[in-house]
Amino acid sequence: MKADIIFYNAQVFNVFLKKFEKKNIAVKDGRFLWVDSGDMVELAAESRVDMHDKFIIPGLIDVHMHIESSMTTPSRFSEAVIRYGTTTVVADAHEIANVAGLEGLESFADSYTVLDIFYAVPSSVPSTNEDMETTGGKIGTGETITLLKNKNVICLGEVMDFNGLVNDENSVISNIVRYFREQRPNFPVEGHIPRVEGLNLARFLFKGINSDHTQQSPKSISEKISSGVFLQFQKKSVTKENMDVIMQNNFSEYACFVTDDVMADDLRNGHLNEILKLAVHNGLPVETAIYMCTYTPARHMGLRDRGCIAPGKIADMVVLDSIDDFNIASVYKNGKIVHNKNCCKSPAGNKSVFPKKLYKSIQCRKLTPEDLNVKVTDDINVKEAVCNIIEIEKFGTFTKKTKKNVPVVNGILNWEKLNLSLLIVMERYGKTGQITFALTNILKKKGAVGTTWAHDHHNMMVMGTNPRDIITLQHKLLKEQGGYGVCVENEITVFCPLPIGGIISDEPIEILGENLSRVRRGMIDLGYENSNVVMSFSTLSLPVSPTIKVTDKGIFDSLTQEKIPLVEELI
């Protein structure tokens, strides 16, 4: 037997022992052939490469993420993340599925990538039900049957509809989970379990949920892992307190790190490698952090052909100059180099091809000034309305409800007088034309922010402190067939085009990232305060995220799914 290449004189990470060892690595036909401390003289090879004591770890594996959260195509995403050592992902493409159903998913799956992309069956399209939100596509039992024929589908995507799963045996999500468990009993069923504990947690798990990737605390980590939940730590959960809980309880076997959502501007600087480094910064030993970015995610997803450097496994590996700063020297995919720090670019995939109709997917009318007259009564004697106001937390995507007395003039809310912002969500698929109005106190200055990248239904959403800016921005979104933008004094100050389904762009990450970064700065200039203003705004329309959210169908309590009126009382 002859090897294709032998890497010698390397510090190789052994995931089974959780330590580095001085080893040589032989690769043949894209797989590891032999890993040994000897000189391998008995094995012929096409070439030998001296690694000069560099550190080699398995390729990083991200098992819970959404490519569309980077607002890019699979090909562009692959091009971006390979250089950061990510060689395998499991994508839950429920964003494109919400916009375009199976056709959108097939466009994703047909894209060429250097990166290995496995897929989850999107379980929550829509995230709740048709009474709460309008989507362009749907995934039910029939679509699940079709998707399971694809060999790259390896799990059921995050189940978000708590009420539908635990309280309604005949709901769409109950039928999907039941069918999936019958047909693929050994496949993971991914969960979305924010702030759920006690009996409610047990009821969720009883239905077959295996994992959770939402925000964690020391208490939730212990309860969930003790209950058999595999935890996927995204960036906001990688705190010192949480890492201490992992080490003190030896929980690394039951958890991994994931990116979930990485904005296009952040993707210019890193991917899963940044979360690994953050975990180490917050007290996790580097060996444990590497283990939780390689072996445990592979094991959780049943990817037995990767996640370690051992004979027979796929030869995906990351070469590090040092483990102190995790400086990546090169990346190998299937035994071939795909990134070198001395090269300016990683290999690009082919340009993605999407159906033409996805470039003409925003089907709603132009707003007029009359549309923004929020009439609450015909009684001209009413002077005030007690309104429900949406407030955001400064960290994360959670919201809360407060009340405020808003002046009423001739039956119309005078929300501008209190420096409130009007939030509108417009149905964009040409089905109902419905518009929902809500009030927030989020923007502190005059202007508007708007997008068609509104989780998960991706209807059009605009929020502003004056009608003129709201209308100008809505017209821009319609003209460009999707995007993310800011309007100030009737001028579009920044705009990030998202012409494919209104949620993604085929521009290189450097260009897309810069456009989004400008939008982010524009939102902050309007006084928007949050650790991630882009995600915070986009999830104001996600009806499964605590606590009060807005869709084209109304304002909802995300836990009870009960409708919340804009006006509680007229005075």
pLDDT number for residue 395: 86
Nearest-angstrom CA–CA distance, 132 and 126: 9
Instruction: Render pLDDT for 73-112 as a digit per residue (tens, 0 to 9).
Output: 999 999 999 999 999 999 999 999 999 999 999 998 888 9
pLDDT number for residue 344: 52
- Can you give the length of the chain in residues? 571
Q: How far is CA 278 from CA 93, 236, 291, 297, 415, in A?
A: 26, 10, 14, 18, 42
pLDDT number for residue 342: 81
Q: What is the band of 341 on the pLDDT scale with cuts at 50, 70, 90?
A: confident
Tokens encoding 527: 């006084």
pLDDT number for residue 536: 96
pLDDT number for residue 161: 86
Would you say 284 and 92 are in contact if contact means Cβ atoms under 8 Å apart? no
Per the omega criterion (within 30 degrees of 0), is the bond before 399 cis?
no
The hierarchical CATH code for the domain 59-308 is 3.20.20.140
Nearest-angstrom CA–CA distance, 118 and 123: 15
Strand, coil or helix: 450: strand
- For the chain, the average pLDDT equals 96
Q: What is the band of 163 on the pLDDT scale with cuts at 50, 70, 90?
A: confident
Residue type, 516: L
Least confident piece of the model among 184-188, 313-317, 355-359, 512-516: 355-359
pLDDT at 531 over 60: yes
| Eight-state DSSP code of residue 566 | S
In the chain, CATH 3.20.20.140 sits at 59-308
pLDDT number for residue 162: 87
Q: What is the band of 195 on the pLDDT scale with cuts at 50, 70, 90?
A: confident
Q: What is the band of 346 on the pLDDT scale with cuts at 50, 70, 90?
A: low
Would you say 360 and 481 are in contact if contact means Cβ atoms under 8 Å apart? yes
pLDDT number for residue 17: 97
Residue range 449-473: average pLDDT? 98
Name the one residue in this structure whose structure tokens are 């005949």: 170
This prediction's pTM: 0.93
- Return the number of other C-beta atoms located less than 10 Å from residue 248's C-beta: 10
Nearest-angstrom CA–CA distance, 82 and 94: 23
Instruction: Render pLDDT for 287-334 as a digit per residue (tens, 0 to 9).
Output: 999 999 999 999 999 999 999 999 999 999 999 999 999 999 999 999
pLDDT number for residue 171: 93
Would you say 4 and 28 are in contact if contact means Cβ atoms under 8 Å apart? yes
pLDDT at 537 over 80: yes
Pairing of strands 116-121, 554-557: unpaired
Report the first-to-last Cα separation within the chain, whole angstroms: 87
Nearest-angstrom CA–CA distance, 180 and 187: 8
Maximum distance among all Cα pairs of the chain, rounded to whole angstroms = 96
Instruction: Render pLDDT for 348-364 as a digit per residue (tens, 0 to 9).
Output: 555 667 889 999 999 99
Tokens encoding 313: 């496994």
pLDDT at 510 over 90: yes
Instruction: Render pLDDT for 207-226 as a digit per residue (tens, 0 to 9).
Output: 999 999 999 999 999 999 99
- Beta strands, E only, 273-417: 317-322, 327-333, 336-340, 384-392, 399-409, 412-413
